[in-house]
A = this chain, B = another copy of it.
Amino acid sequence: MKVIIVGGVAGGASCAARLRRLDEKAEILMVERGPYVSYANCGLPYHISGVIEKESSLLVATEETFRTQFAVDCRTNCEVVGVAAKKKTVELKNHVTGEVTIEKYDKLVLSPGSAPIRPPLPGIDLPGIFSVRTVPDARDIRAWITRNDLPDYSETGFQAVTKAKRAVVIGGGFIGLEMAENLIHLGLEVTLVEMLDQVMPPLDPEMARLVEGHLEKHGVRLALSDAVAGFRQAEGGALEVLTKSGKAHRADIVIMAIGVRPETALAKMAGIELGERGGIRVDEHMRTSDPDIFAVGDAVEVKDFVTGQWSLIPLAGPANRQGRIAADVIAGRDSRFRGTQGTSICLVFEAAVASTGVSEKVLVKLGDTDYEKIYLYPNSHAGYYPGARMLAIKVLFRKSDGRLLGAQVLGQDGVTKRIDSFAMAIQMGCTIYDLEEAELCYAPPFGSAKDPVNFAGMVAGNILRGDMPVTHWDAAKSGFLLDVRNPPELAVESVPGAINIPLHELRARLGELPRDREILIICRSAQRAYYATRILMQNGFKARNISGGMLSRSHLAVGWN
């Protein structure tokens, strides 16, 4: 059996290594059009800044490794330029020698990845506009940043460790944010232009607000809700990034990070089916519409197993698993890809921004109304132990049966502990009742006796059991507002129109509250408001807790101010 794998890196290289382990006799040819068969593209932004010092650190496995350890015929700088699916051949072009050869396959695995989107805007080909996808890209960016023929800004007083001083990053997704941070580390002045009204698309916008505030605090200038219209050469050698709103951002370097599109040129040549999102359509065995062609990684569409929707998930984790599954199936095994739940995390200036499962905006887009959401702001670990930081957590769950649908966790400590608990819970079809009972690790430096994950379950459970009707700031504009905080807290920030009865006086002052209106209760974090909700409900009042309290209000755009 001869298997040709097109593309190395996460999906292809995993597939080749796994296949060899399963089948010592298979003839395996892996071709990669770039110079490196397996490199850590996730590390590129950190290599550009020098956080990862050596380029060689990014090279995971060499051609030599594949040849000697895995007996894989591995060819770099070698591109598949044609596929003849009926004849089961591919046409290979060696980019060093220019030679073109034909190779026959029994099974073909496409792992072509995705390409940075580079729209045909005026000036897009000007020097100084880069994507961040390959090791050579990183090398080019580093060289450009330190080049010597840029104008000299030394008299402007701007402190930069390199010659390039102003960067514009276009796109507020993972790579855009990582590049913004790493360019700031290099001393550049960074403007981030994003077409949407938020950064970090996996997050809901109100959670993204927190990320945006954090970026601004660290010096990133945000230009949201504005799309790039083009580029032009400015005086003195710099570029100008022109936007639809008519702005012009000066830049010595521009990073394009507006997303990726699946590489489907080969799939089209092979005549295999594409999906609704433009990726290669595969079944759960990673098999395409041609039974002898498999596809894995960024180029394929996979089912989101929370929403049941097809989606494109250009992440290394799923690519690795898919490569492995394709190898299993080619070797005659019954492995299946279970779909994705979109678990992701991004480092943003010492904060971690993570999500798993579905976001509210996706539920809204799908017309799904069988969900409730909560906001909570627990400490990352016991508050009395040094270093505790506040986490911001949003959890989505199904109203009808309590199934956990999604979670977004932001913070500067303890984020991975929680997002992975949520991720494992979603994978196993947990309900919020399971979260209540979860036995997670606790000692003062690491957590709380009621972990934030338990706490999320308890809050959600209170809602679904009818113990704590809930509302949210955007729906709370017209209610009767009761603030149960203590007066000194109100002096810092109060809510217009809310009457104040501190929690400890509530039982004695019930007479001041209306019995014919729904009372919406406010405190700092929604905990005392929960206690107040219980007191009012048991005394015959209609009451709702405003989820997340004042802490939510600060990042929910509700038009109060």
Residues on A close to B: CB < 8 A?
10, 20-25, 40, 42-43, 46, 51-52, 57-58, 68-71, 174, 315-321, 324, 338, 340-347, 352, 354, 356, 382-386, 414, 416-421, 423-425, 427-428, 430, 434, 436-447, 449-451, 453-454, 458, 467, 503-504, 507, 528, 530-531, 534-535, 538-539
In the bound complex, do residue B315 and residue A442 qualify as a contact, i.e. CB atoms below 8 Å apart?
yes
A321 to B436, CA, bound (A): 8
Evaluate whether A386 and B24 lie within 8 angstroms (CB atoms) in the complex, with A316-B442, A354-B441, A439-B423 already known.
no
In the bound complex, do residue A416 and residue B437 qualify as a contact, i.e. CB atoms below 8 Å apart?
no
Residues of B within 8 A of A356 (CB): 439, 441
Most B Cβ at <10 Å: residue of A71, A343, A423, A449: A449
Residue contacts A-B, CB under 8 angstroms, 24 given: A22-B467, A24-B539, A25-B538, A43-B444, A52-B386, A52-B444, A69-B528, A71-B507, A317-B442, A317-B454, A320-B449, A338-B437, A344-B443, A345-B443, A347-B446, A414-B416, A416-B416, A416-B447, A420-B420, A420-B453, A423-B438, A424-B428, A425-B428, A427-B437
In the bound complex, do residue B347 and residue A443 qualify as a contact, i.e. CB atoms below 8 Å apart?
yes
Minimum CB–CB distance from A169 to chain B (whole Å) comes to: 17
Evaluate whether A384 and B57 lie within 8 angstroms (CB atoms) in the complex, with A420-B440, A437-B338 already known.
yes
Minimum CB–CB distance from A455 to chain B (whole Å) comes to: 10
Minimum CB–CB distance from A313 to chain B (whole Å) comes to: 9
In the bound complex, do residue A424 and residue B438 qualify as a contact, i.e. CB atoms below 8 Å apart?
yes
In the bound complex, do residue B440 and residue A319 qualify as a contact, i.e. CB atoms below 8 Å apart?
no
In the bound complex, do residue A441 and residue B423 qualify as a contact, i.e. CB atoms below 8 Å apart?
yes
Residues of B within 8 A of A386 (CB): 51-52
In the bound complex, do residue B321 and residue A443 qualify as a contact, i.e. CB atoms below 8 Å apart?
no
Minimum CB–CB distance from A276 to chain B (whole Å) comes to: 22
In the bound complex, do residue B421 and residue A441 qualify as a contact, i.e. CB atoms below 8 Å apart?
no
Residues of B within 8 A of A418 (CB): 420
Minimum CB–CB distance from A472 to chain B (whole Å) comes to: 21
Residues of B within 8 A of A421 (CB): 420-421, 423-424
A452 to B277, CA, bound (A): 31
Name the residue of chain B whose CB is nearest to the CB of A462: B21
Residues of B within 8 A of A414 (CB): 416
In the bound complex, do residue A40 and residue B382 qualify as a contact, i.e. CB atoms below 8 Å apart?
yes
Q: Which 4 A-B pairs have the closest CB atoms?
A: A68-B504, A316-B449, A24-B538, A345-B441
A113 to B458, CA, bound (A): 24
Evaluate whether A69 and B444 lie within 8 angstroms (CB atoms) in the complex, with A57-B384, A417-B417, A438-B423 already known.
no
Known: A22-B467, A317-B451. 20 other contacts (CB 8 A): A24-B534, A25-B538, A46-B444, A52-B385, A52-B444, A69-B528, A315-B442, A316-B449, A317-B439, A317-B440, A321-B454, A345-B443, A345-B446, A347-B445, A352-B446, A424-B430, A425-B428, A427-B437, A427-B438, A428-B428
Residues of B within 8 A of A20 (CB): 534
In the bound complex, do residue B445 and residue A434 qualify as a contact, i.e. CB atoms below 8 Å apart?
no
Minimum CB–CB distance from A237 to chain B (whole Å) comes to: 33
Minimum CB–CB distance from A309 to chain B (whole Å) comes to: 16
A361 to B43, CA, bound (A): 41
In the bound complex, do residue A46 and residue B385 qualify as a contact, i.e. CB atoms below 8 Å apart?
yes
Most B Cβ at <10 Å: residue of A443, A446, A528: A443
Residues of B within 8 A of A320 (CB): 449-450
Residues of B within 8 A of A68 (CB): 503-504
Most B Cβ at <10 Å: residue of A71, A419, A423, A531: A423
In the bound complex, do residue B24 and residue A344 qualify as a contact, i.e. CB atoms below 8 Å apart?
no
Residues of B within 8 A of A425 (CB): 424, 428
